[in-house]
Amino acid sequence: MKRIEGAARPTTVHIKVDGQTVAAFEGECLAVALAAAGHRHLRDSPHRGTPRGAFCMMGVCQECLVTCDDVKVTSCSTPVRDGMRISLGRAP
């Protein structure tokens, strides 16, 4: 995923992704903000450990689940807020 260049963006905010500070835009889709920070691979599948990322973009497939402030959320349907703490479900 890649932000469309030249599209107007609201305020820049900062979120933490696995401890690293990342700039994002207030209200933008969390999955897009994560991809822009280089995180398309959001989690590993539970049994075979294959890499997964945002897929359906409508909150159905659950592939884009990340932990946001200690609660599991679908990143495709979660708007970015300043100070969010995200942890990805990837094997270290």
Partner 1 sequence: MSRIEPMRASTDLLVVGAGPAGIAAATQAAELGLAVEIVDDSIMPGGQVYRTAPPGLPARDSSPDSRKGDTLRRALAGTGARFRGATRIWFAAPGFTVAGVGPQGPITWSPRAILAASGTTERVIPVPGVTLPGVVGLAGATILLKTHQALPGARTVVAGAGPLLIAVAAGIIKSGGSVAAIVDLASRGDWLSRLPAMLNRTDLLRQGMDWLRLIRRARVPYYRRHGVRRVIGEDAVTAVEIAPVGADGAMRADSAGRRIDCDALAIGHGLVPATELTRLLGAAHDYDQTAGGWIPRLGADQQTSVEGLFAAGDGTGISGADAAVLAGRLAALAAARHLGRLSEAALEQRARPIRRDLARARRFGAAMGALMALRNGLAAQITPETIVCRCEDITRAEIDEAAASGVRTLNQLKSAIRCGMGPCQGRMCGDAAATLIASASRTDRSAVGQWTARAPIRPVQLADMVGEYDYDDIPKPPPAPA
Query: Taking CB under 8 A as the rule, does residue 91 contact partner 1?
Result: no
# of chain residues touching partner 1 (CB under 8 A)? 42
CA distances from residue 86 to 6, 20, 48, 70, 74 in whole angstroms, order as listed:
27, 9, 23, 8, 12
Q: Which of 16, 18, 53, 89 is in the footprint of partner 1 by CB under 8 A?
A: 53
Q: Which of 52, 66, 84, 86 is in the footprint of partner 1 by CB under 8 A?
A: 52
Within residues 2-21, the interface with partner 1 by CB under 8 A covers 2-10
